[in-house]
Structure 1
């Protein structure tokens, strides 16, 4: 198919219903999401103060949305949470080591992280932000363990507790 035919059909391919299906949302679920997300981020801050190492990066806020607000999502499961952040952090370290930190390498790092997460079946959307943060900050290999692995594990432990202590939630749906 030629590019001209693809472009001609583009508006038709963008057609979609105005509204899509929405699963029911209860006030109880929303309140528990709020409390759990708050606890998850506070846990990272508390452990940061205990160990004296900064463990919080912006992408963990997006991970909290998935872990505490969309617990059933495949993208929120432990393999995706931990694997997606680790794969993306590793990509960031490699990109910085090979090419440095420029607008082009930041964009390349995000694209490469998406590619690597897709290939490893660890897609976790906040991983893209982890790669961006890593390349933009010109990080070294230590970034993979601290803050990325440490922070992701803190969020995972928090999600395991908060999503299983109440009867209306269950997490994870699967480990791998």
Structure 2
């Protein structure tokens, strides 16, 4: 015997589901294009997780622009600092991810997908001069595309809830 679904698990309408899916695909295709053209495809996985938050849970604090952009940037900086101190290794990447979580919590910039940004920086050793502006651009593009669904009638949550 199964229990009835709770209010938090209500299914979205088909039109909402299709709209969210279409905007998420559009955002990810744009990010992949930028990442491939600039030879930084590994930047895409953490931003894909961010897109899932922006489009799938736009009301969560983790999805808000300040957290999304700030969380990725602070995590990248911690990744580069860890890389400089410990070098590139899976162990260093794990430490960088953990440190980035602590730093995001301390600065009120919590954005869970950004821990992967720190991890990738340590494992891949990208050029910071290329990587950081691209990360900022990708994060800002996600925010800009996230603004669009809320401007369409019938979308239940306007994004962002807070800047």
Q: 1:159 aligns with which of 123, 146, 153?
A: 146
Correspondence for 1:8: none
Show the 5 A alignment for 1:1-176. Answer: 22-26=8-12, 27-48=14-35, 52-54=37-39, 56-142=43-129, 143-146=131-134, 148-168=135-155, 169-175=157-163
What TM-score does the superposition give when structure 1 sets the normalisation length? Answer: 0.79
Secondary structure of the residue aligned to 2:8 is coil
Unaligned runs of 5+ in 2: none
Secondary structure in 2 matching 1:34: helix
- The residue that corresponds to 1:7 in the other structure is none
Shift of 1:154: 1.2
Aligned residues of 1:95 and 1:105 also touching (Cα < 8 A): yes
Find the structure with the greater CA-based Rg: 1
Contact 2:76/2:117 (<8 A) preserved: yes
Q: Is the 8 A contact 2:16 2:154 kept in 1?
A: no
Q: Is the 8 A contact 2:20 2:149 kept in 1?
A: no
TM-score by length of 2: 0.85
The structure in which a higher percent of residues are helix is: 2
- Retained in 2: the 8 A contact 1:84–1:127? yes
Offset of 1:57 from its aligned partner?
2.1
